[in-house]
Chain A
Amino acid sequence: MNRRNFIGFGVLAMATLPATLSAFSSIDFRATKPDAWKAKTVADAIKGLYGDIKPEASDKVKVKAPKVAANGGAVPVSVKTDIPAKTVAVFQDMNPESAVAVFNIPDGAIVDYGFKIKLKATDENGGNGTVTAIVEGKDGKFYKGTVSLNVAKGGCEG
């Protein structure tokens, strides 16, 4: 086709761009980063997901959990941050594997997630446990927030 038609065609194509070609797409991190989910330690899980990163501890990553969780089967956890984020990953060091969930952050989403998790009793681990959240910033940097807790009655054995 001649050049004039070609340019016109390009403009028309942009106007009818289907929504599925927009920048954000759903990701199944279990499929794309399988090693992260098998890792036993928080460090290995982070590596499996993000590679060799050095997250900086930041009080802008707010992770909350009750200081003493009475029921290990349903421990409420919340993760919140204002840092513009691409993904947010949650780990803990009390269970047989470390990865809990990875949130893929769409445009217009607010990072303020609440969910409930199962944790093994901390006396099986000799004391406190820690829940860690890593925020993958849109600026290319990684930020870390943590919360420590005790779990009175373990919830993984069912």
Chain B
Amino acid sequence: MKIKAKLKGDEVRVKVLVKHPMLTYDQAKKKGTDANFITHISSRVGDRVVFDASTSQFLSKNPLFKYRFKANGVKKGDEITVSWTDLSGKTVTEKKAIK
């Protein structure tokens, strides 16, 4: 995952790029494989959840997610953790320091 998180004023702006084939059911059928795409992605700083999305087969390959949240005490150097799960049940979690 590529995670970019920046504190700007009283907001944190985040961009997450996940490397994932995001194969729809139709695409998988054509390839003769199983569909596989991210089904849930969330993000937190410490115990505070800042992003939480349930997703479908229709997000693009190597999906990009942009979001922002009120800092409310979050500082530069705090770590943001991003976790995603896909249809196959695989979960990947990564952290990055907020700049």
Residues in chain A within 8 A of chain B (CB atoms): 19-20, 22, 24-30, 37, 73-75, 78, 92, 95-97, 99-106, 108-110, 112-119, 155-158
Contact = CB atoms under 8 A, between A and B. Distances in A.
Given A115-B64, A158-B27, A20 B56 contact: no
Interface of B: 11, 22-27, 30-31, 39-40, 42, 46-61, 63-70, 72, 85
A102 B64 CA distance: 15
Nearest to A119: B58
Nearest to A105: B52
Contact of B67 (A20, A73, A112): A112
Given A108-B69, A113-B67, A156 B26 contact: yes
A100 B30 contact: no
A104 B26 contact: no
A29 B54 contact: yes
A29 B69 CA distance: 21
Contacts of A115: 59, 63-66
Give the 4 A-B residue pairs with the shortest CB-CB distance, closest first: A19-B47, A114-B66, A29-B54, A158-B27
A61 B50 CA distance: 20
Most buried by B among A78, A101, A112, A114: A101
A110 B60 contact: no
Given A30-B54, A100-B59, A116-B60, 4 more contacts: A108-B69, A109-B51, A116-B64, A157-B27
A92 B58 contact: yes
13 contacts: A20-B47, A22-B47, A74-B60, A92-B58, A95-B58, A97-B58, A100-B55, A101-B53, A102-B53, A112-B66, A114-B67, A117-B60, A158-B26
A157 B24 CA distance: 8
Nearest to B71: A108
B47 A102 contact: no
A118 B60 contact: yes
A118 B69 CA distance: 26
B60 to A, nearest CB: 4
Nearest to A37: B56
